[in-house]
Each structure stands twice: as structure tokens, then as C-alpha cells.
Chain A
């Protein structure tokens, strides 16, 4: 099979307009284009649907309110009263990942969440922000986060490195989970789409039926991963407030 038919071809970055500042390549690529579309879709959808501000909401307004309530509920459940301050951050993150995944489900559309650099950047923002938040709230007492209470002192040289590594692994597990789910799902779709074309006679209908089912599953995963990303962010914010 030629390289141009590869199932991984869909993840290739193509430059749309070449921009270089100094030695940095900050070209506008198809990935940036997908992100731009995502941001536009979110902004337009949320502003247009809530624009009417009717007491009896229309269907579209109901969707917006549902999303708002979903994240607000998530924050108050996991973080409590302190969580209200972080609503804009978590909501933006959730919507960006969710709509990014959904835009990626449109055929021929690029999925930017299938690139680890994008998801890792998002996770790193969460990680660094939460660490700063911990230091702001607790000062140097934040380091006691790595000490498990009720453990004999001679165990600490062993347990503190483990706790630190566990803490540092958060952004990696957060980003890898989202990236790998999207990458695997889209590759699988492409592989089965290849079967539809190459299988003889009418047998191509079987993989086609499978693709239909898989697309539904992918949409579920797209939502689930955005939800997981949001809930883990909430849990990390909660950790920054309540050590242990």
C-alpha cells in the first residue's frame, strides 16, 4: 500500500501559510486551522444560543445551559465552594477538548487532540497552574503534600521520591490518555475504511456496518475524554486546596 493511503496519513501536519519569526517556525497549519474552527464554533454557539436569554429556553439555549450546569455541578461536587473561581478555566478546557474532538469526527477534518504535543501543552498548563495554586494557598507547607501522614519517619526517604514521581506523572497520564484514545480511535476507523474498499464483492458491507457502530462509539469516547480531562483538573485543583 502506498504511503499516501496510510491510515496514519490523517495525522500529518500540513502548513497552510508559512510564518517564521527568528528561528522559530510558527506557521499556520491544518492543526491551527482546526483549533480556530473549534474556538469559533464554541464562541458562536454559546453567544448565539444564550443571546435571547428567554426564561423558557429554546432547545439550543438548553444545550448551552446544560453544559454550563454540567461543569458547575462537577466543580461544586469535587472542589466545593472554592471551585467557583475556576469555573471559567475548567469550562474553557472542557469545551475546547470536547468540541475539538467533535470537530475531528467530521470526515476529512483534522483532529488536533490526536497530537500529544497539544494535549501535553493543555495538561502542562493545568499542572503548572495547580502547582502555583498550591504554593499560593499553603506557601512552603505545600511540600508536606508529599509526606503521607501516619508513616514512620524512616520510611520517608523511600516514600517521598515515590510521591514526587507520582505527582510529576500527572500531566503525562492526563495528556497520554486523551491523545492515545483519539489516535487509536481515528486510526481504527481509517483501517476499517480501508477494508471497505479492498474487500471483494459485497463483503465490504460488513466493515462498513462496523464503521457506523464505531463512529457512534468514537463520539461517546470524544465526550468521555473531555469529561475525564475536566474532572481530573477539578481533582487536582481540589488537591491544591486540601493537602491529603
Chain B
């Protein structure tokens, strides 16, 4: 009986150790700098692409050659910053 209990205790310790290890691995899992930069840059580029696209379409329809592009390029850039802000906030939340 005593022998059995000892075995079980050892098993319990082993499991606890493994659980701790698992936690350590999870907390130390960090994204690489390049991956992070890539994520941010795609957000900005995607918003800029949409902004420029809308600008060109608006210019085509209303014949306001440079103005639509200029305005929507600026909107696109601002939307890009908004996207980056949201990504950052999501990352902050995860921590």
C-alpha cells in the first residue's frame, strides 16, 4: 500500500513538472521580429491599395483627375494607421 502511494506521488510530481514545462514553453513562445514587421506592413499596404483603388475609380467616374486620388490616398494611409493600431491593441490584449 505504502509502495503504491509512493509511486502515485512520484507520478503526480512528474505530471506537475510536465505541466510547468508546458506553461513555460507557451509563455516563451514569441513571434520573430521579421514576422511582426511583415504583419504590420501588410496592414498598411492593404489599406493603401484600397484607398488608391477607390481614388482611381472615383476619378474615372467623376472626371476629377487628381483630386479623388489625393483625397482617398490620404484616407487610405489613415486607415492603414488605424489597422496597425488595432493589431497592436489585439497583441497587447493577448499579453
Residues of A within 8 A of B (CB): 161-163, 165-166, 168-170, 172-173, 176-177, 180-181, 224, 235
Contact = CB atoms under 8 A, between A and B. Distances in A.
Chain B interface mostly: helix
Contacts of A170: 46
B38 interface: yes
A165 B54 contact: yes
B42 A176 contact: yes
Given A177-B39, A177-B42, A180-B42, A172 B49 contact: yes
7 contacts: A165-B50, A165-B79, A166-B83, A169-B80, A170-B46, A176-B42, A181-B38
B33 to A, nearest CB: 14
B78 A172 contact: no
Contacts of B38: 177, 180-181
Interface residues of B, number: 22
Interface of B: 35, 38-39, 42-43, 45-47, 49-51, 54, 72, 75-76, 78-80, 82-83, 86, 90
B42 A162 contact: no
Closest CB pairs A-B (n = 3):
A173-B46, A172-B46, A165-B79
A173 B43 contact: yes
Interface majority SS (helix, strand, loop, mixed), chain A? helix
Nearest to B48: A169
Nearest to A231: B90
B39 to A, nearest CB: 7
A173 B75 contact: no
A162 B82 CA distance: 8
A194 B41 CA distance: 29
A165 B42 contact: no
A210 B47 CA distance: 35
Nearest to B47: A169
A96 to B, nearest CB: 21
B45 A162 contact: no
Contacts of B75: 161-162, 165
A48 to B, nearest CB: 29
Given A162-B75, A162-B78, A173-B83, A168 B50 contact: yes
Nearest to A172: B46
A169 B86 CA distance: 13
B49 A169 contact: yes
Given A165-B51, A165-B54, A166-B47, A173 B42 contact: yes
Nearest to B83: A166
A168 B47 CA distance: 8
A166 B87 CA distance: 12
Given A177-B39, A181-B38, A166 B45 contact: no
Contacts of B82: 162-163, 166
Nearest to A235: B90
A224 B38 CA distance: 13
B46 A176 contact: yes
Nearest to A164: B79
A47 to B, nearest CB: 31
